[in-house]
Amino acid sequence: MERMTISLDETLATAFDALIAERGYRNRSEAIRDLLRAELERARGGQEEGAFCIAALSYVYNHHERELAERLTGLQHHHHDLTVSTLHAHLDHDNCLECAVLRGPSAEVRRFAEALVAERGVRHGSLNLISADVAQGGHSHGGPAYRRGGSGAHVHYRPRS
C-alpha cells in the first residue's frame, strides 16, 4: 500500500470529518479511498472500448400503462445475456419499482438501459455502472453444473479499483 499525505484547511477538514462520521467510516483513509474510487469510475464512465461492467438499473413505472409490463419483460428476455436478476416491488396501486442487476460489455449495458428507460410510461430511471475486468473462471465452485458433470467454467467480473 502506498502512503500519501494531503493538507486541508481547517474548514474543509472539519466538513470532511463530519461527512466521515455521518457515513460511518472508521477513519479518513477509508473515506478518501472510496471518494477516489467513485471519482475514477465517474471519469472512466464505462466508455472504454471493449470495457465490461456490472450495473444496477432502477426505474419506476405505472403498471397500468398499456402493455408496458410486457414490453419491459420482452426487452429483458431479448437481453437475457446482460440481465442477471430483477427485483420487482409494488409502490402503490399504480406504480412499481424494478431493479435489474446487469453485467456485460459496457456499451451494450448502456444501450439496453437507455432503451428500457425510454419506454413510454417508465419514469425515474437510473443506471449505476461499475467498470469491471473479466476473466474466464478456470475452476469450479462445486455448484450444480459441476455436480451434473459440467465443466463449471464461468466468467468472473472483478470491479476495478
**Domains of the chain, residue spans:** 10-44, 52-159
Per-residue cell: 30:
477509508
Per-residue cell: 74:
420482452
CA torsion sign for 25, 28, 33, 34 is positive
User: What is d(CA 133, CA 110) in angstroms, rounded to the nearest whole number?
Assistant: 17
To the nearest 10 degrees (0 to 180), the angle between helices 10-23 and 28-44 is 90
- Average pLDDT of 4-24? 89
- Average pLDDT of 100-114? 93
**127 Cβ partners below 8 Å, 6+ apart?**
55, 56, 57, 109, 110, 113, 117
Give the CA angle between residues 67, 72, 76 to the nearest 5°: 145
**CATH no. for 52-159:** 3.30.70.1150
Question: pLDDT tens digits, residue range 121-155?
Answer: 898 899 998 888 887 665 555 555 545 555 556 77
Per-residue cell: 53:
461492467
Give the pLDDT band (50/70/90) at residue 37.
confident
Give the pLDDT band (50/70/90) at residue 74.
confident
- Of 1-5, 17-21, 110-114, where does mean pLDDT reach its minimum? 1-5
| pTM metric for this prediction | 0.66
Place of cell 444496477: 56
In degrees and rounded to multiples of 5, residue 77 shows phi and psi of -65, -40
